[in-house]
Every structure is written in structure tokens, then in C-alpha cells.
Amino acid sequence: MKMGDLKMDLVVRETLFNHVRSWMLDAGALIKDSIDDPLTISTKSNVNDLVTEVDQNVEKFFAKKIKEHYKDHLLLSEEGFGDNLKDTKGTVWIIDPIDGTMNFINQKRNFAISIGIYHEGIGEIGFVYDVMANNLYSAMRDGGAFKNDQRLPLLNQNIALEESIICLNHYWLCENRLIDEKVMQSLVKDVRGTRTYGSAALEFAHVAEGIIEAYLTMRLEPWDIAAGRIIVTEVGGKVTNINGEEVGMLERSSIITGNPNVHKKIVSEYLKNIKK
Ligand code: IPD
Ligand code: CA
Ligand code: CA
């Protein structure tokens, strides 16, 4: 196979982008219409790992659209309506129907629909839709990133760690089995401020928008990463695991994404010796 064969045809990609965009908005409208309805909530791996009928319905909505319009495409998704993927071949939709389910349940805001589309393992299209704020972040490989219709500028290369706001889950500041919480505590002391939004997809989008300088977490699934990675990359941001290595499309992984300077500094000066 020649290199050119790996890339998605640009006309095909544009049509696909427009379809996804319009289905994203339709799915968002369905969520908004029922936002005050009582929820059916179930737990998964633990009491705080939640899923609602809305998560499942949004995923089913996209699974049906893919089957109807893109029979040869595959779906990798969180709630079990997707395909069993063995490799990165073909065109794969990676969907988190609601990223930030806890926020969805407790706050009825601060959650997103996240869709990344990969072709032969290459990220081609990314969408993160902050439904209640009505902000749609999108990107196509080599086509730049957008918030609604506004192109996002390239990230500021000159920002220092001391001027940065970083996102992390406070869990990693407490004693835990995986990483040295003292290193995390020293990082938190060195930055200007910290935030936790509770939706990985939105945290990626906020990095791309340049309103936070980095987002750092120890365990994400492919559907948490897929769309955000494409959007951040388009504004010159970095996405790696905590060792500074690339993360595969199908991998569960630690993640640090951010402004290139800040990403480099956090990886080389803090995360290097963080594993217990
Ligand atoms: C979760 C959110 C959360 C992150 C978790 C994810 P979900 O996704 O992105 O911010 O810390 O690791 O699992 O379960 O709400 O789709
Ligand atoms: Ca998620
Ligand atoms: Ca989810």
C-alpha cells in the first residue's frame, strides 16, 4: 500500500465532516429536550462509574447513522453498541456519547459528546460538543481547529509554567498506588492555578482553546482521547502519555496534553520519576 492510500480522500472527508456535524447537533438537541426528565442511572465498575439511558441512546443514535450511511465504517464506543476492533484498519468512529456523565447527572452541564474519526490509524476528524454551552469544537487533520465557526489560533509558545493553569483530578494529589503524590503536589505549587472540569474531552478542548495550558491524568480510554487529540494537535499542542511517548489509537493510557512548552517542562521536570 502506498502512503497516499492511507489518507482519507479530501472530498469524502468533507462530506463526512458535514454529516457528523449535523448529527452532533441533532444528538445535542435530543439531550437538551430531555434534560429535565428523570434519569435512569446504573453503575458500572464501581459506585461512581455511572451510565444513564441518555448515554446509551446517544450511542445508539450514532451507531444507527453509521450503519445507514457508512456501512463499511467501524465503531469503537464506550457503552457497548460498537464493534469488536482488533486493529486500526479501515475507517473507525471512536465515540464517547456523554463524556462527563457524573456532571450530566449532578449538574446537567459540563459534559460533551466526543467523536474522533480515524482512517487507517490516522486521526482525520475530531468533534467535541459542549452541549449545554452550545460550543462545538472541531478539527480536520491539517485543516486547523475551530470553536463553532471561529478558527482557533495556534497556541502561545512563550507561556511559562508559572503563568499556567493546569487541569488534573485531585485524586492524584492524594496517596495512591500508581504515582508519587509529592511530585504532583510540587507541580500544583509551581503553577498559577489548577482546575478540574470532569470531562476529559472538554479539558482537551480547553487546551486547544488556550484557556488552560495542560491537562494531565493517569488513565483514559480511547474514546476519552480520540477527538480531543485531533483538535489539540491542530493548534500545535502536544498529546502523549506521562513518559512523553505517543499513545496508540486503541490504547488505554495516561495522558498529558498541553501547550508544547508547558507539556515539555511538566514531562521532563515532574513526570520523569513519578511512577511508584
Ligand atoms: C470520564 C471523564 C472524567 C475522567 C474519567 C473519564 P465518562 O468519562 O472524562 O473527566 O476523569 O477518567 O472516565 O465516564 O464521564 O465518560
Ligand atoms: Ca469518557
Ligand atoms: Ca462516557
pLDDT 10s digits, 49-106? 878 899 999 999 999 999 999 999 999 999 999 999 999 999 999 999 999 999 999 9
The strand pair at 122-130 and 112-119 is best described as antiparallel
Q: Which cell is 16 given?
A: 463526512
For the purposes of burial, counting CB atoms within 10 Å of the CB of 146, is it exposed (0-12), middle (13-18) or buried (19 or more)? middle
- Domain 161-273 in CATH 3.40.190.80? The answer is yes
Q: Is the CB of 169 under 6 A from ligand 1?
A: yes
H helix intervals, 150-221 = 181-190, 200-209
d(CA 253, CA 200): 13
Residue 5 pLDDT level (bands cut at 50, 70, 90): low
Can you name the CATH fold of 3-151? Answer: Fructose-1,6-Bisphosphatase; Chain A, domain 1 (3.30.540)
Please state the atom number of ligand 1 nearest to the C-alpha of residue 224: 9
Mutate to test the pocket of ligand 1, among 55, 171, 224 (most ligand atoms within 8 A of CB): 224
Q: Give the residue extent of every domain in the chain.
A: 3-151, 161-273
Same CATH fold assignment for domains 3-151 and 161-273: no
Q: Is the pLDDT of residue 42 over 90?
A: no
Place of cell 475530531: 126
d(CA 89, CA 122): 10
Residues with CB under 5 A from ligand 3 (ion): 78, 96, 98
Residues with CB under 5 A from ligand 2 (ion): 96, 99, 224
Mean pLDDT of 137-163: 96
Average pLDDT of the chain, as a whole number: 94
46 or 236, higher pLDDT: 236
For the purposes of burial, counting CB atoms within 10 Å of the CB of 246, is it exposed (0-12), middle (13-18) or buried (19 or more)? exposed
